[in-house]
Amino acid sequence: MKLSKKSNLIVLLTVILVALVLMFIGRNAKNKPFEGPVRRVTTPVAGFFSGIGVWADDKFSFLTEIGNLKKQNRELFEENSKIKSRLAKLDGVEKENTELRKQIDLAPKEKYILISSLVIGKDLRNQEETIHLNRGRKDGIKTQMAVIVDEGILVGRVSKVFETSCDVELLINRNSKINAEIIRTETKGIARGQFGTSIVLDMIPQTVKIEHGDSVVTSGIGGLLPRGLLIGYAQDASPTPDQLFQKTSLILPFQLDELRMVWVVEGKK
C-alpha cells in the first residue's frame, strides 16, 4: 500500500516535469514542430493547475472572510458589553440621585440644623458596626451628634471626628446605648445594640403593657440627643432574667445596606 502511493507520487511528478519541459521546448523552438503536441499535453496540465490556483484562492478568500466576520463579531460584542455597562451605571446613578432627592425632601430642616453627608464607607464586621462620612471637624461635626435619615430616623451617633471625615457608631453596635421612650405610654428605657444585628429596648417596668408596633423614640434625657428621633418599633415583650423589668426587640425603620446619604444633627432650630 505504501509502495503504491509512492509510485503514484513518482508518476505525478514525472508528468509535471515532462509537461514543463515540453512547454519550455515549445516556447523556444524556432520551427516549433512540437507546438501542436506540446499544446495538447500542456493545455490540460495548465488548466488543471490553474483550476487548483483558482480553488485555493477561493478557499483563502473564504477563510479570510470568516476571520474578518469573527473579528467584527468580537468587536460588536465588546462594544455591546460596554454600552450595557454604561447603561447600568447610568441607571444606578439615576436611582441614587432619586434616593438623594428623596432624602433631601424628607429631611426635617424646619426642626433641626442639619449637615448633609454622604456615606463613604462601612465597617459592619466584628460587632464594631460603624459607617464613615465625608464630613468632619472643618464642617462643624462633633462627637455624640445624632445622625439621621428621612424625617428623623436615628441611625447612630458620631463617635470619632477627623478633619474632613468622621465615624458614626450605629445603633446596632454592641457599645451603643440610647435613652429611649415608648411614645404611647411615655415609658422610659434604654435602647442598646445587641450582637451587632439588632436593638433591644431594656429596663421597662413589668407594670407597663408593651404593644406590638409601639413607636420608640429618643427621650432627650442627658441632653446629648434631641427628643423624638425614631429608633424603631416594639415587638413582643419578655421579662429580664431578674424578673424586675421587661424588654423587647425593636424593628429597624431603615436598611443598613441602603444608606447613601445621611444628616448630622447640629442642633435644634
SS3 210: coil
Nearest Cα to 137, choosing from 170, 173, 167?
Answer: 167
SS3 109: coil
Q: Cα(264)–Cα(134) distance, rounded to whole angstroms?
A: 11
Query: What is the model's pLDDT at position 80?
Result: 74
The predicted-structure confidence for 26-62, as pLDDT tens digits, reads as follows: 555 444 554 555 455 555 555 555 555 555 555 566 6
Q: Cα(152)–Cα(159) distance, rounded to whole angstroms?
A: 19
- What cell numbers appear for 93 in the block? 446613578
Place of cell 406590638: 212
**Torsion 151-155-160-164 (CA) sign:** negative
Query: What is the model's pLDDT at position 219?
Result: 93
Average pLDDT for the chain: 79
Nearest Cα to 247, choosing from 183, 178, 185, 199?
Answer: 199
- Backbone torsions φ then ψ of 201, nearest 5 degrees: -90, 115
Nearest Cα to 166, choosing from 192, 146, 149, 151?
Answer: 146
Q: Cα(129)–Cα(168) distance, rounded to whole angstroms?
A: 9
- Mean pLDDT along residues 200-227: 91
At residue 3 the predicted structure's pLDDT band, cuts being 50, 70 and 90, is very low
pLDDT at 264 > cutoff 90: yes
Q: How many CB atoms lie within 10 A of CB 115?
A: 17
Query: What is the model's pLDDT at position 31?
Result: 45
- Mean pLDDT along residues 10-32: 58
- Mean pLDDT along residues 104-110: 65
pLDDT at 220 > cutoff 80: yes
pLDDT at 108 > cutoff 90: no
> 185-191: long-range contacts at Cβ-Cβ below 8 A with a sequence spacing of 24 or more?
185/209, 185/214, 188/219, 188/221, 189/216, 191/216, 191/231, 191/232, 191/250
pTM: 0.62
SS3 128: coil
Indicate the CATH number for domain 112-268: 2.40.10.340
